[in-house]
Amino acid sequence: MASSTNPPGTRQDLTDLTAHEAAELLTSGQVSSLELTEAVLARVDALEPQIHSYITVSRERALEAARAADDARSLGKSQGPLSGIPVMVKDNISTEGVPTTAGSRILEGYIPPYDAFVVERLRSGGAVIVGKGNLDEFAMGSSTEHSAFEPTRNPWDTGRVPGGSSGGPAAGVAARECFVSFGSDTGGSIRQPAALCGTVGMKPTYGLVSRYGLIAFGSSLDQIGPFSRDVRDCADALTVISGHDVRDSTSLDSPGQDFANALTGDISGMRLGVPREYLVDGMEPGVKTAFEASLRTLEGMGATLEEISLPLTDQALAVYYIIAPSEASANLARYDGFKYGRAVNDVDTAWEVMDQTREQGFGPEVKRRILIGAYALSAGYYDAYYKKAQQVRTLIRREFAETFERFDALVTPTSPTVAFKAGARMDDPVAMYLSDVCTIPVNIAGLPAISVPGGMSEGLPVGLQFIGPQMGDATILRAAHAYEQATEWHTLKPGI
């Protein structure tokens, strides 16, 4: 079911390398970017019929980018830690000249005329973009079963979901169909699939990574971040994509930093809070057992752990499912059949064009959330729902801020369950929404958080989450890396 990765330098399968191991071989001249890319594409060809982690594979563009990276390296041009490394980008992140669907029929055939900020950073850093990752439509979901195209499957068990909404990027890294991938996280859409697929996944501090070119779901919640096989790759990826961008009004005007410098391997004396509210009702026994074992590991490494209470955690799910759908209903109003993407034109009036385009273009989950949001924003209900949710959001932020006056980071489970069976929650939206109960508070408060492999249960991965204060990204990377190096969980891979 699972085995350790091959040591660096072996050629049995280049795709088993981490990105930084592959980068070392590129630097030494033992392999080329073209070889890495061809190995990844062969892996994609072999596995995509089972996994469906990609919506679009840009084969020729990827090979061209690999040759360019090799040429730059031969001329002594240093481009960064991901130079020549094959990566995947979630299909709600704009890529010039490459279809970007957001997993929706309403954007089928849409080809952006520009790159997102993170794609600009990746290209200028020499990364090789292999293709676009599958997702729940408009990033609304926790299983990647709401994609308008094929649902993605979990590489550990193809009868189970990979999590969502960034299930394609998570599954792609786990299945060795790319070395690093990039997703978006609105309520847990990076961390929850990372946990279910046994990868590292990070949501940075809100504003640390520009949202320019990200197709909006909930604008005050969305944040782009990386998936990787280990924390070192995650730190390198965050170094590449972070930075100020004048085109995003929420972008933080902070200097760039090399996040790999935070990876000291030492957390002795670090103060870690363990919020009891995250051990939610319905948490699987195997997940709880793995979490408790992780706490013992952290204590053995010299960290100081203390159980704490964050009472407003219980309100976070309700707050999220008012704010996120409200912002979604406003953001998705632009899809009217006139500007871009799909349009239904064989009708008599402009109103019918708009009505039928949305009826045929949006899937059921997107329609559900638009209706919830429109209701919460409607006259007579705005104060009772949306305004009240924003007030509670302020209290949640304050509660976190006060907690971080005493602690360096918090540690929690990432998901209350391991990967669930495909189809098990499709007819129960509330059960699906509860998949993100441990991740949603972070987005509400705009905090950084990272999920790392933290054990196994029933032969499936369990995630461990570290939450940091505002701009505490380096701190949680340090804690996650130290934990990772003290355990074997990140070395395991699916048997697919």
What is the separation of C-alpha 202 from the centre of its chain, rounded to a whole number of angstroms?
7
With residue 191 as reference, give the H or E element that holds it.
helix 191-197
Residues 6+ apart with CB under 8 A from 5: 16, 17, 18, 229, 491, 493
What is the separation of C-alpha 258 from the centre of its chain, rounded to a whole number of angstroms?
20
| DSSP code for 446 | T
CA distance 54 to 433: 24
CA distance 110 to 483: 42
Which active-site residues does the annotation give? 90, 165, 189
C-alpha R_g of the chain: 21
The residue among 354, 347, 269, 339 whose CA lies nearest residue 304 is 269
Structure-token pair, residue 131 = 């293709």
The residue among 126, 144, 267, 259 whose CA lies nearest residue 194 is 144
With residue 39 as reference, give the H or E element that holds it.
helix 33-51
Q: Which amino acid, one-letter code, is at 406? A: R
CA distance 478 to 467: 12
